[in-house]
Structure 1
Amino acid sequence: MPAVWSAPVRFVECDQQGVVFNAHYLIWADETVTAWWGTVGVPHGVLDAWGVEYLVKATALDWSSSARYGDTVAVDAELTKLGRTSLTLLLTVRVGERVCCTVQTTYVATADGRPVPWPDEVRARVSAG
Protein backbone atom coordinates (compact mmCIF):
# COMPACT_ATOMS: atom_id res chain seq x y z
CA MET A 1 0.00 0.00 0.00
CA PRO A 2 1.40 3.41 -0.90
CA ALA A 3 2.12 6.01 1.74
CA VAL A 4 -0.67 8.55 2.06
CA TRP A 5 1.34 11.05 4.11
CA SER A 6 5.04 11.75 4.52
CA ALA A 7 7.23 14.41 6.12
CA PRO A 8 10.74 14.93 7.43
CA VAL A 9 11.10 14.65 11.19
CA ARG A 10 11.50 18.16 12.57
CA PHE A 11 13.82 19.05 15.44
CA VAL A 12 10.83 20.30 17.49
CA GLU A 13 9.29 16.80 17.35
CA CYS A 14 12.23 15.19 19.12
CA ASP A 15 13.28 14.86 22.72
CA GLN A 16 16.81 15.42 24.05
CA GLN A 17 17.88 11.96 22.89
CA GLY A 18 17.01 12.94 19.31
CA VAL A 19 14.09 10.52 19.01
CA VAL A 20 10.53 11.52 18.21
CA PHE A 21 8.42 12.24 21.28
CA ASN A 22 5.53 9.74 21.43
CA ALA A 23 2.65 12.22 21.03
CA HIS A 24 3.85 13.19 17.55
CA TYR A 25 2.95 9.75 16.22
CA LEU A 26 -0.69 10.62 16.89
CA ILE A 27 -0.30 13.93 15.08
CA TRP A 28 1.14 12.08 12.09
CA ALA A 29 -1.71 9.58 12.26
CA ASP A 30 -4.19 12.45 12.20
CA GLU A 31 -2.47 14.03 9.19
CA THR A 32 -2.61 10.66 7.45
CA VAL A 33 -6.30 10.15 8.17
CA THR A 34 -7.08 13.51 6.60
CA ALA A 35 -5.09 12.51 3.50
CA TRP A 36 -6.70 9.03 3.50
CA TRP A 37 -10.22 10.48 3.32
CA GLY A 38 -9.15 12.36 0.19
CA THR A 39 -7.66 9.24 -1.42
CA VAL A 40 -10.95 7.35 -0.97
CA GLY A 41 -12.93 10.20 -2.53
CA VAL A 42 -14.19 11.96 0.58
CA PRO A 43 -12.19 15.23 0.60
CA HIS A 44 -12.20 17.62 3.53
CA GLY A 45 -15.60 19.24 4.03
CA VAL A 46 -17.69 16.61 2.25
CA LEU A 47 -18.73 14.86 5.46
CA ASP A 48 -19.88 18.19 6.87
CA ALA A 49 -21.98 18.74 3.76
CA TRP A 50 -23.61 15.35 4.38
CA GLY A 51 -24.28 16.28 8.03
CA VAL A 52 -21.75 13.85 9.51
CA GLU A 53 -18.65 14.28 11.66
CA TYR A 54 -16.24 11.56 12.74
CA LEU A 55 -14.78 11.32 16.21
CA VAL A 56 -12.07 9.14 17.69
CA LYS A 57 -13.59 6.32 19.73
CA ALA A 58 -10.33 4.53 20.59
CA THR A 59 -6.70 4.50 19.56
CA ALA A 60 -3.76 2.24 20.38
CA LEU A 61 -0.09 2.67 19.52
CA ASP A 62 2.53 -0.04 19.27
CA TRP A 63 6.15 1.07 18.86
CA SER A 64 8.88 -1.10 17.40
CA SER A 65 11.67 1.42 16.69
CA SER A 66 12.30 5.14 16.93
CA ALA A 67 12.08 7.79 14.27
CA ARG A 68 14.84 10.35 14.72
CA TYR A 69 15.63 13.89 13.77
CA GLY A 70 16.65 13.94 10.10
CA ASP A 71 14.58 10.86 9.13
CA THR A 72 11.65 11.10 6.77
CA VAL A 73 8.56 9.28 7.98
CA ALA A 74 5.92 7.85 5.69
CA VAL A 75 2.55 6.73 7.02
CA ASP A 76 0.28 4.21 5.31
CA ALA A 77 -3.42 3.85 6.09
CA GLU A 78 -5.40 0.64 5.74
CA LEU A 79 -9.09 0.18 6.46
CA THR A 80 -9.37 -2.89 8.68
CA LYS A 81 -13.04 -2.69 9.63
CA LEU A 82 -16.13 -0.87 8.39
CA GLY A 83 -19.09 -1.09 10.74
CA ARG A 84 -22.51 0.52 10.63
CA THR A 85 -21.43 3.62 12.59
CA SER A 86 -17.68 3.14 12.91
CA LEU A 87 -14.56 2.33 10.97
CA THR A 88 -11.10 1.26 12.04
CA LEU A 89 -7.86 2.24 10.35
CA LEU A 90 -4.42 0.75 10.81
CA LEU A 91 -1.75 3.41 10.28
CA THR A 92 1.84 2.26 9.87
CA VAL A 93 4.65 4.75 10.43
CA ARG A 94 7.85 3.87 8.58
CA VAL A 95 11.30 5.24 7.95
CA GLY A 96 12.20 3.63 4.66
CA GLU A 97 11.19 -0.02 5.05
CA ARG A 98 11.64 0.05 8.84
CA VAL A 99 8.39 0.10 10.80
CA CYS A 100 8.56 2.52 13.72
CA CYS A 101 5.01 2.40 15.02
CA THR A 102 1.52 1.21 14.24
CA VAL A 103 -1.55 3.18 15.27
CA GLN A 104 -4.95 1.52 15.28
CA THR A 105 -7.78 4.01 15.55
CA THR A 106 -11.55 3.54 15.52
CA TYR A 107 -13.69 6.46 14.39
CA VAL A 108 -17.42 6.87 14.92
CA ALA A 109 -19.76 8.74 12.57
CA THR A 110 -21.80 11.27 14.52
CA ALA A 111 -24.49 13.89 14.03
CA ASP A 112 -25.48 16.22 16.85
CA GLY A 113 -23.08 14.33 19.12
CA ARG A 114 -24.75 10.94 18.64
CA PRO A 115 -23.54 7.93 16.63
CA VAL A 116 -25.21 7.62 13.22
CA PRO A 117 -24.76 5.21 10.33
CA TRP A 118 -22.23 6.20 7.69
CA PRO A 119 -24.02 7.67 4.67
CA ASP A 120 -24.32 5.15 1.82
CA GLU A 121 -22.05 7.31 -0.37
CA VAL A 122 -19.33 7.25 2.28
CA ARG A 123 -19.64 3.48 2.71
CA ALA A 124 -19.37 2.99 -1.05
CA ARG A 125 -16.30 5.21 -1.40
CA VAL A 126 -14.53 3.82 1.67
CA SER A 127 -15.20 0.23 0.59
CA ALA A 128 -13.92 0.88 -2.93
CA GLY A 129 -10.89 2.80 -1.70
Structure 2
Amino acid sequence: MWSAPVRFVECDMQGIVFNAHYLVWADEALTPWWTGRGIDWGRFGAEGYQYVVVASTLEWTSSARLGDVVEVDADLEKLGRTSLTVRFTIRVGERLCCTVRTTYVCLTGGQSAPWPDDLRARLAG
Protein backbone atom coordinates (compact mmCIF):
# COMPACT_ATOMS: atom_id res chain seq x y z
CA MET A 1 0.00 0.00 0.00
CA TRP A 2 1.07 3.57 -0.70
CA SER A 3 -0.45 6.61 1.01
CA ALA A 4 -0.03 10.37 1.06
CA PRO A 5 -1.90 13.49 2.17
CA VAL A 6 -3.73 15.36 -0.56
CA ARG A 7 -1.67 18.46 -1.36
CA PHE A 8 -2.96 21.89 -2.34
CA VAL A 9 -1.31 21.59 -5.77
CA GLU A 10 -3.39 18.46 -6.52
CA CYS A 11 -6.72 20.28 -6.07
CA ASP A 12 -8.89 22.62 -8.07
CA MET A 13 -10.41 25.80 -6.63
CA GLN A 14 -13.16 23.80 -4.87
CA GLY A 15 -10.54 21.73 -3.00
CA ILE A 16 -11.34 18.60 -5.03
CA VAL A 17 -8.50 16.52 -6.48
CA PHE A 18 -8.00 17.05 -10.22
CA ASN A 19 -8.58 13.79 -12.11
CA ALA A 20 -5.04 13.29 -13.51
CA HIS A 21 -3.58 12.99 -10.01
CA TYR A 22 -5.28 9.62 -9.52
CA LEU A 23 -2.99 8.27 -12.27
CA VAL A 24 0.03 9.80 -10.52
CA TRP A 25 -0.98 8.09 -7.27
CA ALA A 26 -1.38 4.75 -9.08
CA ASP A 27 2.09 5.22 -10.55
CA GLU A 28 3.48 5.99 -7.09
CA ALA A 29 1.94 2.77 -5.75
CA LEU A 30 3.44 0.64 -8.51
CA THR A 31 7.06 0.69 -7.26
CA PRO A 32 6.25 -0.66 -3.78
CA TRP A 33 3.95 -3.21 -5.44
CA TRP A 34 6.87 -4.54 -7.54
CA THR A 35 9.32 -4.52 -4.63
CA GLY A 36 6.76 -6.16 -2.33
CA ARG A 37 6.87 -9.13 -4.69
CA GLY A 38 10.67 -9.21 -4.69
CA ILE A 39 10.96 -7.81 -8.21
CA ASP A 40 14.06 -5.70 -8.79
CA TRP A 41 13.61 -3.55 -11.87
CA GLY A 42 17.22 -2.38 -11.57
CA ARG A 43 18.27 -5.94 -12.35
CA PHE A 44 15.68 -6.53 -15.06
CA GLY A 45 16.54 -3.16 -16.61
CA ALA A 46 20.22 -4.13 -16.70
CA GLU A 47 19.14 -7.30 -18.53
CA GLY A 48 17.39 -5.16 -21.17
CA TYR A 49 13.78 -5.41 -19.93
CA GLN A 50 11.42 -2.55 -19.29
CA TYR A 51 7.68 -2.06 -19.00
CA VAL A 52 5.46 0.60 -20.52
CA VAL A 53 1.84 1.65 -20.04
CA VAL A 54 -0.45 0.77 -22.93
CA ALA A 55 -3.81 1.62 -21.34
CA SER A 56 -5.37 3.06 -18.19
CA THR A 57 -8.99 3.38 -17.16
CA LEU A 58 -10.38 5.26 -14.18
CA GLU A 59 -13.74 4.81 -12.46
CA TRP A 60 -14.66 7.39 -9.84
CA THR A 61 -16.99 6.78 -6.93
CA SER A 62 -16.26 9.88 -4.83
CA SER A 63 -13.74 12.70 -4.69
CA ALA A 64 -10.64 13.03 -2.60
CA ARG A 65 -10.27 16.52 -1.14
CA LEU A 66 -7.65 18.79 0.29
CA GLY A 67 -6.75 17.56 3.77
CA ASP A 68 -7.65 13.91 3.07
CA VAL A 69 -5.10 11.13 3.19
CA VAL A 70 -5.36 8.80 0.20
CA GLU A 71 -4.39 5.14 0.40
CA VAL A 72 -3.67 3.16 -2.75
CA ASP A 73 -3.75 -0.63 -2.82
CA ALA A 74 -2.45 -2.46 -5.90
CA ASP A 75 -3.43 -5.96 -6.98
CA LEU A 76 -2.62 -8.04 -10.02
CA GLU A 77 -5.80 -8.36 -12.03
CA LYS A 78 -4.50 -10.19 -15.10
CA LEU A 79 -1.17 -11.70 -16.13
CA GLY A 80 -0.69 -12.34 -19.83
CA ARG A 81 2.29 -13.54 -21.81
CA THR A 82 3.64 -10.04 -22.58
CA SER A 83 1.27 -7.82 -20.60
CA LEU A 84 -0.25 -7.49 -17.18
CA THR A 85 -3.03 -5.40 -15.67
CA VAL A 86 -2.81 -3.94 -12.18
CA ARG A 87 -5.90 -2.69 -10.34
CA PHE A 88 -5.29 0.27 -8.03
CA THR A 89 -7.94 0.97 -5.42
CA ILE A 90 -7.78 4.53 -4.11
CA ARG A 91 -9.52 5.25 -0.82
CA VAL A 92 -9.85 7.86 1.86
CA GLY A 93 -10.34 5.78 4.99
CA GLU A 94 -13.02 3.25 4.14
CA ARG A 95 -14.49 5.43 1.37
CA LEU A 96 -13.69 4.30 -2.18
CA CYS A 97 -12.73 7.23 -4.39
CA CYS A 98 -11.41 5.70 -7.59
CA THR A 99 -10.41 2.43 -9.22
CA VAL A 100 -7.60 2.63 -11.76
CA ARG A 101 -6.76 -0.27 -14.06
CA THR A 102 -3.47 0.02 -15.91
CA THR A 103 -2.09 -2.43 -18.45
CA TYR A 104 1.66 -2.66 -18.88
CA VAL A 105 3.61 -4.42 -21.64
CA CYS A 106 7.06 -5.94 -21.22
CA LEU A 107 9.63 -4.70 -23.75
CA THR A 108 13.12 -5.70 -24.69
CA GLY A 109 14.98 -4.17 -27.60
CA GLY A 110 11.99 -1.90 -28.22
CA GLN A 111 9.69 -4.84 -28.93
CA SER A 112 7.09 -6.58 -26.81
CA ALA A 113 8.48 -9.66 -25.13
CA PRO A 114 7.31 -12.33 -22.69
CA TRP A 115 7.81 -11.48 -19.04
CA PRO A 116 10.99 -13.12 -17.73
CA ASP A 117 10.24 -16.49 -16.13
CA ASP A 118 11.40 -15.53 -12.63
CA LEU A 119 9.34 -12.30 -12.72
CA ARG A 120 6.28 -14.26 -13.88
CA ALA A 121 6.81 -16.83 -11.12
CA ARG A 122 6.91 -14.07 -8.46
CA LEU A 123 3.70 -12.54 -9.81
CA ALA A 124 1.87 -15.85 -10.18
CA GLY A 125 3.00 -17.20 -6.79
Does the pair score TM above 0.5? Answer: yes
Which residue, 53, 58, 61 being the options, matches 2:58? 61
Deviation at 1:52, TM superposition (A): 0.7
Take 2:43 and 2:58, find their aligned partners in 1: how far apart are those partners? Answer: 28
Deviation at 1:93, TM superposition (A): 0.3
Q: How many residues align?
A: 125
* More off after superposition, 100-109 vs 34-43: 34-43
Which residue, 96, 99, 109 being the options, matches 1:102? 99
Partner of 2:17: 20
**Corresponding residue SS for 1:30:** helix
* TM-score, structure 2 normalization: 0.96
**Corresponding residue SS for 2:124:** helix
Take 1:44 and 1:109, find their aligned partners in 2: how far apart are those partners? Answer: 12
C-alpha RMSD of matched pairs (Å): 0.9
> How many percent identity over aligned positions?
62
Give the unaligned 5+ runs of structure 2: none
* TM-score, structure 1 normalization: 0.93
Give the unaligned 5+ runs of structure 1: none
Deviation at 1:43, TM superposition (A): 3.2
Moved runs in structure 1, 4+ residues, more than 3 A?
none
**Corresponding residue SS for 2:89:** strand
Deviation at 1:44, TM superposition (A): 4.1
Take 2:65 and 2:76, find their aligned partners in 1: how far apart are those partners? Answer: 27
Take 2:2 and 2:19, find their aligned partners in 1: how far apart are those partners? Answer: 18
Deviation at 1:49, TM superposition (A): 2.5
Take 1:73 and 1:47, find their aligned partners in 2: how far apart are those partners? Answer: 30
Deviation at 1:36, TM superposition (A): 0.5
Alignment-mate amino acid for residue 115 of structure 2: W
